[in-house]
Amino acid sequence: MIKFCSLYSGSSGNAIFISDGKTKILIDTGLSGKRIFEALATIGEKPSELSAVLVSHEHSDHIRGVGIVSRKVDVPIYANQSTWEAMEQSIGPVNLKNKMYFDTGKEFEIGNIVIKAFPIPHDAAEPVGFNFFIGNRKITTATDIGHMNRELLSHIEGSDLLLIESNHDVEMLKVGPYPWPLKKRILGDFGHLSNEMAGKVVAYLAEKGTRNFLLGHLSRENNFPELAYETVRNILREKNIDIEKDIRLSVALRDRVGRVVEM
């Protein structure tokens, strides 16, 4: 049985848990080790049973706790070469046997889970999203996306469950407190995905057969869960897609553990 849970998802820290019952993986560790361990406990998981930690990219909201988690429970960290080079000085010493590498675009295995890291457009060294293939299921996580393109869609199509970025409301961002250079970065091609664009992606994939969606990586200053949800729901309504009948849509929360999805 697949178990998937967003422990935290937002601009202040990210961590996702996925398991096939035996292999247990964290995707990113952007909060303190203490908070990660507490979050795992709330969903009945033991940190000592972790099989691996995957790192999508080196920004602090994705790696803040990765070094301490690896040292505390002796778990390997998987990242591509460029991400390792970019983050190594920030995460503290890591046992050599726990430094694992993957190649973006190529499949690799951890336990019985097949994983493929695919490139995403973001202002980091070599940022990636992840496909997880467990039995006949495909689970995908894709956040920190500056813009959607055909290549990225090809990687996330066919997912049974997708966690997709819904970072900001464009108007909130424009009139909000951020300095203009930061606003420009977020709105740029290597920044973050807006609620409206997330809605278009969800609608497109729903028409292609995906049935379970989580909106993630919401900004604390430029978004809130109800707004992200309603923006996406309204776009789905325009396409005659019914949230109650056709798909399941929810929001991965920024500051607390979300619902556990079992498949």
User: Any idea what the Cα angle at residue 29 is, between residues 11 and 163, rounded to 5°?
Assistant: 60
200-258 tens-digit pLDDT = 999 999 999 999 999 999 999 999 999 999 999 999 999 999 988 899 999 999 889 99
User: Any idea what the Cα angle at residue 70 is, between residues 65 and 71, rounded to 5°?
Assistant: 100
Query: 145-253: which CATH architecture?
Result: 4-Layer Sandwich (3.60)
Percent of residues, the chain, with pLDDT higher than 70: 100
19-74 tens-digit pLDDT = 999 999 999 999 999 999 999 999 999 999 999 999 999 999 999 999 999 999 99
One of 1.20.1250.20, 2.20.25.10, 3.60.15.10, 3.40.50.720 is the CATH number of 1-103, namely 3.60.15.10
1-103 matches 145-253 in fold: yes
> For residue 144, with 0-12 CB atoms within 10 Å meaning exposed, 13-18 middle and 19 or more buried, which class applies?
buried
Q: Are 80 and 104 in contact (CB under 8 A)?
A: yes
Tokens of 6: 């967003």
65-116 tens-digit pLDDT = 999 999 999 999 999 999 999 999 999 999 999 999 999 999 999 999 999 9
Phi, psi of 98 (to 5 degrees): -100, 5
List the chain domain ranges.
1-103, 145-253
What contacts 102, CB < 8 A, 6 or more positions away? Answer: 78, 79, 80, 108, 115, 117
**pTM (2 decimals)?**
0.96
Lateral strand order in the sheet of 128-134? 107-110, 113-119, 128-134, 137-142, 161-165, 212-216, 248-251
**pLDDT score for 243:** 87
Q: How far apart are CA 222 and CA 44, in angstroms?
A: 32
